[in-house]
Amino acid sequence: MRILMSILVVMLSLSGRETLAARTDMVCEFGQPMSIGGDHRLDNVIEVIWRGRAYTMERVRTSTGAHRFEDQQSGLIWISIPAKAMLLDARRGAPVVNDCKVASAPGLRR
């Protein structure tokens, strides 16, 4: 049964099917809150909630291994690397918020 579940998860992630998982609360620089709906490691679409607005972001493949998602409508880009995540504004060419980490991560200072 365990093998069948693993195969199903792999098939869904390869099929490009949108699967939004549970929400992850994050804290960014200066204590700014952000939430992510979905699993950025597996999903092709995630939802970023920033300052009370939800942005649907689609995965963009990278050669570096970073997880990159873009919302074409707003121009926002969400990038996640193992140490942190950041939200960028492609239209202004500037960061929106940086140093975002899971709110329950050990050693996190608020």
> What's residue 42's pLDDT?
82
Q: Quick check: helix, strand or coil at residue 76?
A: strand
On the 0-12 / 13-18 / 19+ scale of CB atoms within 10 A, 35 is middle
In the chain, the domains with their CATH numbers are 18-102 (2.40.128)
Q: What's the pLDDT band for 106 if we cut at 50, 70, 90?
A: low
Over residues 40-75, the pLDDT tens digits come to: 888 899 999 999 999 999 999 999 989 999 999 999
In this prediction, residues 72-97 reach a mean pLDDT of 95
Beta-bridge partner residues of 35: 25, 49
| The pLDDT of residue 95 is above 70 | yes
CA 99 to chain centre: 13
Whether residue 13 has pLDDT greater than 70: no
Whole-structure pTM value: 0.73
96: pLDDT strictly greater than 50: yes
Q: What is the pLDDT of residue 21?
A: 57
Q: Residue 19: pLDDT above 80?
A: no
Confidence at residue 76, expressed as pLDDT on a 0 to 100 scale: 97
- φ, ψ at 7 (rounded to 5°): -65, -40
